[in-house]
Structure 1
Amino acid sequence: MVERRNKPSALASTPGLVPQPQVNISHGNQRVSAVLPTGESVEVMLYGATVVSWKDSDGNEKLWLSEATKLDGSKPIRGGIPLVFPVFGPPPANHPTSKLPQHGLARTSRWEFLGKSTSESEAAEADLSVKLDFGLSAATLDEAARALWPYTFGLIYSVTLTRDSLTTSLVVTNDDNKPFDVQVLLHTYFRIPDINKIQITGLEGAEYIDKVDNRKIKTQETPAVTITSETDRVYTPKGGADAPIAIVDQSSGRPLYKLSRDNLGDVVVWNPWAEKAVSMPDFGPDDGYRNMVCVEAGAVRGWQTLEPGDAFEGAQTITLA
């Protein structure tokens, strides 16, 4: 090999090229991670396509993940952003979803990683993003799962990371020759400093189902929701999917997270509080309820009926303050 006296500089230092996001598959092909050149990151398990981590550029975790949850595919993951499909909560009797486990089959199925896409290489560093796509269909379900809900369907789930936001979107298609009903929910566990010092805004005047109080229909009378006991409510904001929701630090009045929704008209607010947290074997630590709150975008008050060939798409974007 001839030694050149004037070697060109390494390609990595080529002027004008912005460093690109890095995507890796790890943990025995069980986890997909993406990292922006500025340090922000996201991790998604192929089991359930559950987002289990979202960190800012300083490495601060934004999602709450139970220390007691299983990440080996043996049980649904407690924390992060589990996917609820095609039924929310315990399935109703005498309904086509009645044989399914609570919250459906998406969060307990192994998804396929379909690939990544990134912003253009010449984009400014602040505009860099990476999108991860995952797929699940009736054809990829195991035989036992197909027997519980025997419809032909397709799901495409996309997770998009930017410097200051995380977007998760789900597209459901009916590939069957008969209609079916579905419910969809993005069951987001937010990490917070102290449950006693946050409030949730954007729900004033909204009707909600209070699942802790015998599913009574109530109206949010105060400007903000505060959590002081076990809370499990299904809100329908007055502004529909256009109503902005925020998790606010009461001491400073500063939003910690802002939540915008697309075609997801309901918002579930959940915190187990002390007694229930202790009774849940996959919830840990026992006082972990102090540092989490679920604010979940979904379409769950009724059913979305998809005719053959129809599709339903819903999305949320979480923006950091």
Structure 2
Amino acid sequence: MSIQETDAKVILTHPDNQNTSVTILKYGATVYSWKMDGEEQLWLSTGALLDGSKPVRGGIPLVFPVFGKDETDPQLSKLPQHGLARNSTWEFLGQTKANPPTIQFGLNKSIANPEMTKLWPEEFNLILTIELGAEFLKTAIEVENPSSFSFLKFNWLFHTYLKIADIEDTMVSNLAGMKVHDKVLKETFIDKHPVIQFQGEHDVVYEKVDDDRVVQVVRHGKPVHTVKRENLQDVVVWNPWIEKSKGMGDFQPKSGYKEMVCVEPGHVSDFIDLAPGKVWKAAQILSKDALKYQAIQ
């Protein structure tokens, strides 16, 4: 069986390699493990709670309908940081394809966290599709506005925690020349560094990055992770470093910042306004493709 389902989670195993699998917690529809030929690709905090009591620290949490804590919109500002998708139990919709094995999860207002839909009473339908390839993992989202009269305003982000060996000799490439908003410095500028290197807390939104720009995590000249995007204009790169890690109770071990980097495809530098009856689609594809250097155009 390529699919195992329990009350709390779904495990999807590749039919051609029993050591390649992905595990999804129904709470938040959060992918918290992705093993490629037995090797874990995602970072998960040892303090992460997998009992549905709070969002998972690590893996691929889903950010909707707001990124961070919004203070501008009278409705979205009522929601906690990163919205309600990661705080709600999704419905497992079943398998849609045998090979590569593909499954779907769904969330709408009627089954989402009721404490949060009281704060943000918009109608929405979300379908998350997870496709497990022999050498890739694709997570795709569809956001539908079922309303017949009002626009749906939202952000989307795949908050992807990638597992690495050592942050101090790891770089993120192919984002040079992009407009960035640095949330640590609270400044906006054009990043002219050829690669991103880490010597401290890094929390930067790379804005309106072309879809054909392939983001790679590189160590010792070799690609560790490749992140491709479909219809996701922004890329957040985050590492909490020492002090920020100390302040997060579920971030364990405190030295864990050395073994993770978040490369997060999303649409967060502005809001999507989805017309009544319309559907918005986007995806990320994680793999270990060959090194690809893309210079500033």
Query: Aligned with 2:121: secondary structure?
Result: coil
Answering whether residue 3 of structure 2 is matched by residue 35 of structure 1, we say no
Counterpart of 2:36 in structure 1 is 56
Q: Which residue of 1 aligns with 2:292?
A: none
- Kindly report structure 1 stretches of 4+ aligned residues shifted beyond 6 Å: none
* Residues 89, 113 of structure 2: 8 Å contact kept: no
Name the structure 1 match of 2:293: none
State TM-score, norm by structure 2. 0.94
TM-score for the superposition, normalised by structure 1: 0.87
Matches within 5 A, 1:79-90: 79-90=58-69
Deviation at 1:48, TM superposition (A): 0.2
Kindly indicate whether the alpha-carbon contact (under 8 Å) linking 1:241 and 1:266 is maintained by their aligned counterparts in 2.
Answer: no
1:102-141 → structure 2 map (5 Å cutoff): 102-119=81-98, 128-141=99-112
* Gapped regions of structure 2 (runs ≥ 5): 290-297
| 2:63–2:86 contact (8 Å) kept in structure 1 | yes
Q: Distance in 1 between matches of 2:223 and 2:108?
A: 38
Task: Flag the 1:142–1:209 CA change in 2: closer, same or farther, 3 A.
Answer: closer
Q: Which moved more, 1:203-212 or 1:173-182?
A: 173-182
The reply to whether residue 242 of structure 1 matches residue 212 of structure 2 is yes
User: How far apart are 1:145 and its partner, in Å?
Assistant: 2.2
Residues 141 and 150 (structure 1 numbering): CA distance in 2 closer, same or farther, change over 3 Å?
same
- Aligned letter for 1:222? H
Measure how far apart 1:96 and its partner are: 2.2
| 8 Å contact from structure 1 (residues 237, 243) kept in 2 | no
1:187 to 134, 148, 159: 159
Deviation at 1:144, TM superposition (A): 2.0
Q: Residue 175 of structure 1: CA displacement?
A: 0.7
The gaps in structure 1 that reach 5 residues or longer are: 1-20, 120-127
2:182–2:204 contact (8 Å) kept in structure 1: yes
Q: Distance in 1 between matches of 2:146 and 2:135?
A: 36
- Quote the Cα distance in structure 1 between the aligned partners of 2:257 and 2:266: 22
Residue by residue over 1:243-278, the C-alpha shift from the partner in whole angstroms, topping out at 9 and shown as x without a partner, is 1111111x2x11111111000010000000011111
Whether 1:271 and 2:239 are equivalent positions in the alignment is yes
List per-residue Cα deviations over 1:189-241 (Å, max 9, x = no partner). 00000001111111010110000012x10221121111110000000255x12
Distance in 2 between residues matched to 1:113 and 1:102, nearest whole Å: 25
Inter-partner Cα distance in structure 1 for 2:265 and 2:114: 30
Indicate whether 1:71 and 2:50 are aligned. Answer: yes
Greater Rg by CA: 1
Aligned length: 286
Alignment check: 8 A CA contact 1:274 1:289 kept: yes
- The CA distance in 1 between the partners of 2:161 and 2:124, in whole Å, is 27
**What secondary structure does 2:246 align onto?**
helix
Partner residue in 2 for 1:202 = 174
Contact 1:31 1:46 in 2 (8 A): yes
Distance in 2, matches of 1:275 and 1:98, equals: 27
Q: Which of 132, 137, 140 is residue 169 of structure 1 equivalent to?
A: 140
Contact 1:203 1:237 in 2 (8 A): no
| Of 93-102 and 276-285, the range deviating more from structure 2 | 93-102
In 1, the alpha carbon distance for the partners of 2:94 and 2:144 equals 19
User: Structure 1 residues 205, 237: CA separation in 2 closer, same or farther (over 3 Å shift)?
Assistant: farther
How far does residue 141 in structure 1 lie from its aligned partner after superposition? 2.2
Partner residue, 1:10? none
Residue 27 of structure 2, aligned match among 20, 44, 47: 47
Partner of 1:13: none
Identity of aligned residues (%): 41
